[in-house]
Structure 1
Amino acid sequence: MREFRYERAADARAAVALLTNAPDGAFLGGGTNLVDLMKLGVATPDVLVDVRRLTSTEVTDLPDGGLRIGAGVPNADLAADRRVRERFPVLAQALLAGASGQLRNRATTGGNLLQRTRCGYFTDVTKPCNKRAPGTGCGALEGVHRNHAILGQTLDGPGTCVATHPSDMAVAMLALDAAVRLLGPDGERVMPVADLHRLPGDDPSRDSTLRHGELITAVDLPPLDLASGYRKVRDRASFAFALVSVAAALRVEDGVVRDVRLALGGVAHRPWRATTAEQALLGRPATEEAFTAAAAAELAAARPLRDNGFKVPLARNVVVRTLLELAEGSR
């Protein structure tokens, strides 16, 4: 690990000012991802600005029935919050599906959204990786890629990248239409979580659309009047990243889909909003046949690699099973 300077600012605005003047610096929240990457030599910030105690650690009610989640709220506390469990079960389930109890105690809401891929070529500095070292190539493309992306990848050119986003929580936040509150050098702004993460495009080194120095201060959840749930398929029962995951919210009236939200994890460089499937389901009967057709329509754009084609039928089946369970519960 190379030398770095550690700074603890007096407040969030001072932290933003510190990082704005440090082009190679980084914010430090729980550190469950960043510190690992520093140990591996993947991340090499010259300044760490500690923000763990500078953003709210509270979950507060909003006037419309939604919730505001401080960026410093630990994942374990958020999953255990009664309001989250009762009103947003998809989020509680996603949080409990992630990492281990010890890591959930440390990891923060803001940091979870911004964690980086666990692709083995990204985390091994001896291997080619356009995300870590632009222009060096993508070792996963012809190498080990069973866990990698089937949607939204860049498969040729200098931006080649087939890595997946690792966060379970972010998938649930996407299905919930959450909004991210930011503080940056130019002041405050609010961004839909759908706009936070990006596909690799020509520059896979950038995971998010945040400007340098911007700090996530909170996440707002709008009220939810749909049944919701999260399902994760992985190689082992705990402490494993998703092969495929599904965050869904559904309202069925008189046997017909009146509202639906659907997001996928483990399939793309960012949490994947399944808008094609959502549009195909609205106004349709809440049946296995309709759910299967909608999932197939979403996955028609998939471009699996040599060893991860199994993700296409797996994702279809997980979508169908999740929606069937929610439809049964909402009747």
Structure 2
Amino acid sequence: MHEVNATVKVSQSITKKISSAKLNVKWREYKKNKYLFFLLIPVLIWYCIFSYGPLYGIQLAFKDFHVREGIWGSPWIGMANFKFLFTQSPDFLIILKNTVIISFYHIVFGFPAPIVLALLFNEIRSSIFKRIAQTLSYMPHFLSWVVLSGILITILSPSSGVVNDVIKWFGFQPIYFIGDESYFRFTLVVSAIWKEIGWGTIIYLAALASVDQQMYEAAVMDGANRWKQTIHITIPALYPVIAILFILRIGSVLDAGFDQILNLYSPSVYGVSDILDTFVYRSGLQNFQFSLTTAVGLFKNVIALCLVLSTNYIVKRMGQEGIT
């Protein structure tokens, strides 16, 4: 028994020494690169002010907020705001459904689009043509939805738009893409892909640039054509990046594109386009229901956290690297 206790004490002592040695090594590394860590100070200040500072206002979700009384003076009402949203608000469940459907379309059609475009860019052999194509695909990203919405409204106009002129030239009736509920979600998804597809390829092209070219040479020696090289070399090289970006995208499933929808929707398509963010905008900034909209924001963040953690767990179980 004494021998066992002595062995345990020795192992504990060794473990402490190893931990202390690792801590000293880390501290020396931090001290060696201290000037690099000073560069993080502006970023940390930004996060403290704009990301962690507003957490103080989360308590509004559990209060009946009155401007005159302030946050501390407003009475606590517990979960009343959440109960109102899920049981008494006639539009909340419809708005939640619209948000999930639009986000689902963005994930199914919008998430793979940059991957496909990056694979196509990777197959272009002319460097000049590749640069021109990449530049043209990036350009819409730098335009705000205020500008792009005006362009879309003009070219999709049922009376004078270029798209409907082509449709009428083929003998069909013009389509009101932005004012018809049957086509509005389609217009949202396609225009969002067009705006962001080029910008989304940057990280995938960076990942493809790190692929060892000797693997392609070996595949050619084995008789693999371009398609087989893409399937067995190029796409597997993108798996880690795809996994991380997919986790982050799932976490924003309740963010269906506020800027885009706010600039494109109208009362005629509220039934299919009204989402949580537009609901918060109208209820909070226009109707001054700050407690109710804070409850909606807290609900979104909790769902996003749960989705990120669960998706990260599933991805890691599938053998890929997650975000933690």
TM bucket (normalised to shorter chain) is under 0.3
Q: Normalized per residue, which structure has more helix?
A: 2
Q: Normalized per residue, which structure has more strand?
A: 1
Q: RCO (CA 8 Å, sep 6+): is it higher in 1 or 2?
A: 2
Q: Report the TM-score when normalising by structure 2.
A: 0.23
Q: Report the TM-score when normalising by structure 1.
A: 0.23
Larger Rg: 2
